[in-house]
Homo-oligomer: A and B are copies of this chain.
Amino acid sequence: MALLNKDRLFPTDPSVRDIARGLYAEVANLPIVSPHGHTDPRWYALNEDFENPAQLLVAPDHYVFRMLFSQGVPLEKLGVPRVDGGPVETDPRAIWRVFASNYHLFRGTPSRLWLDHTFETLFDLDQPLSAATADVYYDSIDARLKQDDYRPRALFERFNIEVIATTEGALDDLRWHRQIAESGWNGRVVTTYRPDSVVDPDFEGFRDNLAAFGELTGCDTGSWRGYLEAHRRRRAFFRQHGATATDHGHATADTADLSQEAAAKLYAAVSTREATESEASLFRAQMLTEMARMSVEDGMVMQIHPGARRNHSAGIFARFGRDKGFDIPGRTDYVQALKPLLDAVGLEPNLTVIVFTLDETAYARELAPLAGAYPALKLGPAWWFFDSPAGIRRFRELTTETAGFYNTVGFNDDTRAFPSIPARHDVARRVDCAYLADLVAGGQLREDEAVELAHDLAYRLAKNAYRL
């Protein structure tokens, strides 16, 4: 028995499935380029054992625990730490059993695909996970995690990762990246510049962060010019640690292009007192354009990830804090929102701005038309809630007709769930090959073109777009 169907996610018509199989065979074993994600650089620096099955697969994965919570399992029973330090389950086997006995809840979700892929390919498990097999699973996985060849660097190599990007805040000292570089290990782990904490006036401790930002860079963050210079230096510092990209996670895609005088005045306001809502919005919007301008100067690829309404549940936020599966997408405009930035730098041939969305209605209506016109703009892949098989398919169906394939940038796994990385790339490769096979079968593409595109989508586009 096996958990995985070898033809999973391929078209079911035999002749089309054969085309998909052929394309997939070409790309199944290509190295993984992971240009955007949230794995912890400390893992690669220290190369210690992963703790236990629950810590590896349940606790860090908000896809997993929010689904269990939605069906009535208290987060405490899953070991999610409380803000007030109150008691939560600490026995990993107990957590694992709760997860196992509720595994049916994941039917039809991508988590199920990723987990089964991990169970079978990484841990050689072949019986379905359930209450009945919970302990067999726990013991098998736990035993493996104690082996040297299941440590982070060994897994990195086993996963055939050519390069992985992590994401660090502007104030991070990048010590783990330095340690990796100095260790002599030849795995390529690069950082990404994520300056939200010094760009968003609503970020906790914003003004303190500005002070720290000044100290760290030796710039006068009391002035607009000094503040911008601090960004320039910090970007250079991140580039020294491998960064080729920046990342910006705003609630909206709003951009602005104020005069430098007006921007300086706005900075003076938000850096010295509580910002009003409209000041905070405008400052974030202005900073996207400033970051884009710096990208024209220094060549860093800019990523804009808008659309999440963070911490939707006041109760969960109070009890468990951020990143607990309660970030909910909302409608997101791009056409008006990006115009100021695009008017400023959108025709720059050497700039790359990669835009993501949590509002799929923008794919065909706004994003593909924009990316199919502006040289600076590229479309990030199906993201977060939408990196499912059906979500990746919708992305292709709704963007290709207008933007083609070459205004897209390959796949992002965007995950902190390290063992799921090969599974996620495998799903993306399969779904893309299935899409290409359908185009070939429908007479929209020749097979030799599909082979070339399969390589592009699985490997080359990401490498080129992110300049890796």
Query: Which A positions have Cβ atoms within 8 angstroms of B?
Result: 4-13, 15-16, 66-67, 69-72, 104-110, 112-113, 128, 309, 312-316, 325-326, 328-331, 333, 335-336, 339, 342-343, 346-347, 349, 358-361, 364-366, 368-375, 377, 385-386, 388-391, 397-398, 400-407, 438-439, 441-446, 449, 452-453
Contacts and interface: CB of A to CB of B under 8 A. Distances in A.
Contact of A364 (B66, B326, B385): B385
B7 A375 contact: no
28 contacts: A5-B443, A9-B442, A12-B15, A13-B13, A66-B372, A69-B375, A70-B372, A71-B375, A71-B407, A72-B375, A104-B452, A105-B404, A105-B406, A108-B400, A109-B404, A312-B339, A312-B370, A313-B342, A326-B373, A328-B335, A329-B335, A330-B335, A330-B366, A359-B361, A361-B365, A388-B401, A388-B402, A389-B442
A143 to B, nearest CB: 26
Contacts of A71: 375, 406-407
A183 to B, nearest CB: 39
A351 to B, nearest CB: 11
Contact of A108 (B8, B375, B445): B445
A99 to B, nearest CB: 14
Contacts of A105: 404, 406
Contact of A328 (B343, B369, B401, B452): B369
Q: Which 10 A-B pairs have the closest CB atoms?
A: A8-B443, A5-B443, A388-B401, A108-B400, A314-B343, A330-B335, A12-B13, A12-B441, A329-B365, A328-B369
A104 B385 CA distance: 31
Nearest to A1: B446
A308 to B, nearest CB: 9
- Tallying the copies of this chain within the complex gives 3
Contacts of A329: 335, 365-366, 369
A215 B10 CA distance: 65
A212 to B, nearest CB: 33
Contacts of A10: 442
B401 A391 contact: yes
A405 B292 CA distance: 42
A313 B373 contact: yes
Given A312-B339, A443-B5, A108 B366 contact: no
Contact of A449 (B104, B330, B336, B400): B104
Contacts of A358: 365
A268 B138 CA distance: 60
A345 to B, nearest CB: 10
Contact of A12 (B11, B346, B402): B11
Nearest to A349: B72
Nearest to A110: B401
A373 B403 contact: no
A10 B406 CA distance: 26
Contacts of A108: 400-401, 404-405, 439, 444-445
A237 B449 CA distance: 52
Given A312-B373, A316-B347, 14 more contacts: A5-B442, A7-B443, A66-B372, A66-B373, A70-B375, A70-B377, A71-B406, A107-B453, A108-B444, A328-B366, A330-B333, A358-B365, A360-B365, A364-B386
